[in-house]
Every structure is written in structure tokens, then in C-alpha cells.
Structure 1
């Protein structure tokens, strides 16, 4: 049986409770949780690669965003529960994700944008970095990790440039974000890192959702006033049934 994108997506959903449990099992548990979160994040990239290679299925188009939403909710709940991020900072994220989910559930097709893919990567990466700082109670591991990631990314960029004679926009994004994250880590306190990284997650999440909302809300209103009102209410109360 060939490995398909749907297999990785289902695996990501099934394994999500494991790192959540490990986060509360001491330092070694947190390290294991970080590694599993990282592996699950990589599967998000790989299932997209497989979908492009073998063709996306209707089930895959449904499962992938659902898996991403579950992944995000689990991470945000952990960050708040562990005292890394304040609850008020993650409320806009839940509002945005709830609204986009409501639009999709209404039968409106929302194609995944490049910015949305970058948003998901940033959410996963920034959350993982905050877990690192909180686990080791200091910035040294974070700074070392980011420095190593920058060196590895530069080598990869050079290799790809030699092969393709150009550097992709994703690679430029990655380098820019890594340098930004390292600069912030060098000059900010631990609490400052949490708030800055968290705020950046909120900003990229809201910006990436703008196109979906601009397309989805008018369509929902045109299909029926009740749906439109419901969508608007969900921007304020994300747990509205």
C-alpha cells in the first residue's frame, strides 16, 4: 500500500493527544512532546507534498484543515494552561478559526492560500519555540536552536540555488523569520519572548483570515440572513453553537 497524504493527516489527528499528555510529565516529557509536535508539524508539510504529487482527494481537502485546526487548538490550550500565554491573547485566534470553519461548513469553497500555509508554519514553529524556553527556563537553548536552524537553512538555500539558480520565496520567508526570531530572543526577556511570539501568531492568523472572511461573509449573507448573522456572532463568540 502506497503512503498517501490522507494517511499522514489521520496519523496527525490520532497522535495529537500524546504530546498533550507528555507536556505535563516533567522536563523529559516536555522534550518528548516537543519532538512529537515537531514530527507532526513535518507531516503537515509532507501530506501537502504527497497531495500535490498524487492529487488531492475530497476527503483530504476536508481532513487537512480539520487536522490543522485541532493541532492549533491543542497547542494554544497548552500554552495558556501552562501560563506561557495569557488567555486574552489567544481569543482572536479562536475567533478567526471558528469563523473560517463556519464559512466552510456553510458550503462555501475557500481555497487554501499561500499565506495560510505560511501562517500554519509560523503557528507551529513559534509555539514550539515558546515551549522550548519554558521547558529549559532560559533563552540559551532557544538561541542555540535558532542559530543552528539559520545555519542549516543557509546551507540548504545555497544548495538549492546551485541546483535551481534561484531561491524560492518560502526559503526567503524562512530565513527572514528565523533571523527575526533570533534577534527577539537575544534582546527580550522570557516573558517578552512569549508575548512577542504570541502577538505575531495572532497577527499572521488574522491577516491570513482576511481574504477568507472578505469572501465568505458576503456569500453567507446572500444565502440567508440567519447564516450571515450567525457568522457575525461567531466573530465575537467563537463557541456559539
Structure 2
């Protein structure tokens, strides 16, 4: 197993660690949030790093193509579900963000069955960056009024980019749906 795939597995293993640290009182507040922030930030960085290593060193594998996006979804969706549990995010927001991931994953499966590989678009990349920053901001949870405004802006920007990216993705690749009939 190459280093890129090991980083992907590490990211998957960090998901339950993040959840336990964020959701329990193993560490006194606010240290649980600070440590959860660091875990999520590091896990997010491993996504960038494993992709870079895989491409630059010719380490792209079928395992990586399958597990890397799955690891990302596990990490982000776990955090979003924690936010609903703690009351820091409305369920409808999480449903929109998670539904997009299911839609795109299903779409990619249909495309793959046709031998088509669909690259991530600029809107999807922007959505990912804003969503990661939003997630880190919610995890940190600083108790300042202005901070709540920033989190709200990031949250609504994430929702908007999620909707734009899924519409853009489907529109640009609508031929895949036509061929699926």
C-alpha cells in the first residue's frame, strides 16, 4: 500500500477520534474543541496531501479513487451530524449538504458504469474550501458575537455553493443521464 492510500486510511481512522473528542467531555471545554479543531484540520490536510502525492508520484490507484472521496465524505458528514447533535447547525442545512454528496456520488457511479470519469469542477472545489473553513469555524466555536456572524456567512455560502455546484455538475454532464436510459 502506497503512502497516499495510507494517508486516506489515516483520515478514515481520524473520524471516530474527532467525534469522540468533539462530542465527549474527555477533555475540559474549550480544550475538546481546540483538539477537535486540530484533528479535523490535520485530517483535511491529509486529503490535500494524499492527492498531491498520488498525482505527483504516479501513485493513483483504484483503491485511492474509491476511498479518497469516501474518506472525505465520512469526515465532513460526521462533523455536520455532530453540529446537529450539539444544536450548532440546523438539520435542513446538513440535509442539503449531505444530499449533494449522495447525488454526486450516484452520478459518478452512473458515469463510471459508462466508462466516463468526471473531474471535479470549479464550483465543487469552491464548495469544498468554503465547507471546510465553515466546519473548522463551527468546531472552534469562539464565543464572540462577530464570530457567529462569520460562521453564519460561511454556512449560507456553503449552502449556496452546494446548490450551485450540484446544478453545474449535473448540467455539464447531463449527457451521462441521457446515455443511462
Change (3 A) 1:59 1:49: same
RMSD: 2.2
**Residue 197 (structure 1) aligned to one of 138, 143, 154:** 154
Q: In the alignment, which residue of structure 2 is the partner of 1:14?
A: 13
* Regions of 4+ moved over 6 Å: none
Q: Unaligned stretches of 5+ in structure 2? A: none
Post-superposition shift, 1:212? 2.2
Q: Unaligned stretches of 5+ in structure 1? A: 140-184, 225-241
Give, in whole Å, the separation in 2 of the partners of 1:68 and 1:80.
19
Q: Number of matched residues? A: 172
Give, in whole Å, the separation in 2 of the partners of 1:208 and 1:15.
27
Q: Deviations over 1:127-174 (max 9, x none)?
A: 1112212xx4235xxxxxxxxxxxxxxxxxxxxxxxxxxxxxxxxxxx
Counterparts of 1:53-92 in structure 2 under 5 Å? 53-55=56-58, 56-92=60-96
Give, in whole Å, the separation in 2 of the partners of 1:101 and 1:69.
10
| Deviation larger for 111-120 or 77-86 | 111-120
Q: TM-score, normalised by structure 2?
A: 0.83
Q: TM-score, normalised by structure 1?
A: 0.64
1:5 matches 2:4: yes
- Larger Cα-atom Rg: 1
1:220 matches 2:177: yes
